[in-house]
Chains A and B, each alone.
Chain A
Amino acid sequence: MSVFIIRRLLQSIVVIWVMSLLVFGGVYLIGDPIDMLINPEADQEDIEAAIRALGLDKPIHEQYWYFLANALKGDLGKSFIFSEPALQLILARAPATMELAIVASLMSIMLGIPLGMWAGLKPDSIAGKSIMTGSILGFSLPSFWVGILFIMLFAVMLGVLPAGGRGPTTEFLGLQVSFLSAKGLSHILLPAVNLALFKLSLVIRLSRAGTQEVIHQDYIKFARAKGLSERRIILVHVLKNILIPVVTVIGLEFGSVIAFAVVTETVFAWPGMGKLIIESIDQLDRPVIVAYLMIIVFMFIVINLLVDILYSILDPRVRLQDIRA
């Protein structure tokens, strides 16, 4: 186990380093931030002073080494716009995104597994077919469009839920969260459902496929031959087997939920990291973009590791040493 984790950490360092190269190079290509930052009426001298102040006069490899050296010290640069450390800026917004992502993931798990199992156990029933049809919609409707539709329906026409923003937050374990107050819940409901929709469909389809595969296995028949109740067979024998792929995908998808939150946060004006990154890209705020992408990469790596560890708990046949990382 510890050998596995150490090897995995070493690989992660390489991945992060390669990623930093790509991100840095990519950001360099998308445009010159000076055009955005400087007053168009400024004269050449002012422009050059600003370029020097930001360190943009140096060749790119020097800029990169400077960035790398600082990054190793935990400093991912200062935002051009806010003149605040980029890392701090992003982390201040992270709880809002995290909360949204966690609520959305929980929704998709808690609804998706039962619905998927139902569709798998009764594939020919009306309910089973409706669930599967619904999951196709969840897959294929673009999430920004669904979000706008939600706002129109629930906020504008029915007027039951707020159209955007985070609403009042409550302090919980030192973090500001929405889900503890009724008002906060009403604010998080629409964006969370919007964000959950795609993953919900994914979980439904995975659970259904898993259920249909497992239900025909001999061990299920043997469990029946032992005289077990249908309830125990489904909740223990079937569920534990389908959890393996579902957990893997949900875990890996958690990173993409956070990344996808960009769209939802923009539609619902949710003050999270996603909204920040969109604004930063608009203004070519390089340090924030780079820091954001590095954080996302780091998160994916951590999540992958956790999923592998969880996997070995769920499936006794998997030993961590055997997983080729």
Chain B
Amino acid sequence: MAVEDLKTHFFTKLGVVKAVNGVSFSVDKGEVVGLVGESGSGKSVTGFSIMGLVDPPGRVVSGRILFKGEDLVQAGERRMRSLRGRRIAMIFQDPMMTLNPVLRIDTQMMEAVKAHADVSTQSARERAREALVRVGIPSPDERLKAYPHQFSGGMRQRVAIATALLHKPDLIVADEPTTALDVTIQGQILYEVQKLCRETGMSLIWITHDLSVVAGLADRICVMYAGVIVETGATSDVLDRSMHPYTKGLIESVPSRNRRGQPLAQIPGMTPSLLNLPPGCSFHPRCPRADEVCLAEPAIAEPAGTGHSVRCFYPHLEQG
């Protein structure tokens, strides 16, 4: 699965919001890729673009999303529907909101089975049951008959994950699925997802704003800023030898015991309005290293053979 120069823009009354503005990355089979960025960096829209679920007034204006050699941008709605939930599934951020409050869990899971498989109600129920067992939900028969409001947040997210897993998809797009959960539940879900990925060999795109979540989960990390990927590389490379000033800023702003007593480092300024991006490198107004060179569009630089690339004129290379 590869995304090539994807641009998803929203055509609002105030102007064109370039939520995703030329994003390229790839996910290999069985690989976990973390898509990291602040709110409004375009990471969720990237996920929805892959699913073909960008709401109007937004649409994918250019680029390709290659899934097993097929360009999803060109695929019709019919084709996308047959892929959604079957080959590509998605988990959403807020488990309180992803399940329909007036439908029972079995209804919501069985309809997902039946959307892609011509099976009897009985075997659809059986598959829903198995999926619940797989994500560690106790007494699944009872739980199937319950309504979403009878579940805790963590349990609901497990149900959502179980639903996403029903057809053993090749790729799961997880849009901050643990952000709304307690830290302990977050840990359990992370562990569960990691295990399921290993067992089934599916690929995973994990969208988050929290570097510490992907640190232990992802094989590779893409850092997004203002609609573009500013740094990509193996997780350890990006975290330990980050090259982009933005990535460095993000890492330094994570509270740590080593810097106890000192003020928390933060990136000055705010994320730019996507309606009105600064020229050149979008990060330059907030960047400690920027000068007039940064008013031009930076190219992607990759120090030879590392697979670790950066979109910056003045990357941190010294400790690399």
Contacts and interface: CB of A to CB of B under 8 A. Distances in A.
A227 B86 contact: yes
A237 B103 contact: yes
A219 B101 contact: yes
Given A227-B82, A317-B147, A218 B102 contact: no
Interface in B89-114: 89-90, 92-94, 97-104, 108, 111-112
Contact of A226 (B101, B104, B111): B111
Given A226-B84, A226-B85, A316-B149, A221 B115 contact: no
B51 interface: yes
B85 A227 contact: yes
A241 B148 CA distance: 14
A241 B98 CA distance: 14
Given A240-B102, A316-B147, A226 B97 contact: no
Interface in B50-99: 51, 53, 55, 81-86, 89-90, 92-94, 97-99
Contacts of A221: 53, 55, 92
A219 B98 contact: yes
A25 to B, nearest CB: 45
A228 B103 CA distance: 15
B84 A229 contact: no
B92 A218 contact: yes
Contacts of A237: 100, 103
A68 interface: no
Chain A interface mostly? helix
Contacts of A222: 90, 92, 98-99, 160, 163
Contacts of B198: none
Contacts of A244: 102
A236 B53 CA distance: 19
Contacts of A7: none
A228 B112 contact: yes
A236 B103 contact: yes
Interface in A217-244: 217-229, 232, 236-237, 240-241, 244
A227 B98 contact: no
Interface string B107-130: 010011001100000000000000
A316 B115 contact: no
A3 to B, nearest CB: 21
Nearest to A124: B56
A69 to B, nearest CB: 48
Interface string A237-261: 1001100100000000000000000
A50 B112 CA distance: 77
B98 A226 contact: no
A317 B115 contact: no
B51 A314 contact: no
A225 B53 contact: yes
A315 interface: yes
Given A225-B51, A226-B163, A241 B115 contact: no
A218 B147 CA distance: 17
Nearest to B163: A226
B99 A226 contact: no
A316 B102 contact: yes
Nearest to B86: A227
Given A218-B92, A228-B112, A316-B149, A223 B53 contact: no
Interface of B: 51, 53, 55, 81-86, 89-90, 92-94, 97-104, 108, 111-112, 115-116, 147, 149, 160, 163-164
9 contacts: A220-B100, A221-B53, A224-B84, A226-B111, A226-B163, A227-B115, A228-B81, A229-B81, A316-B104
Interface of A: 216-229, 232, 236-237, 240-241, 244, 314-317
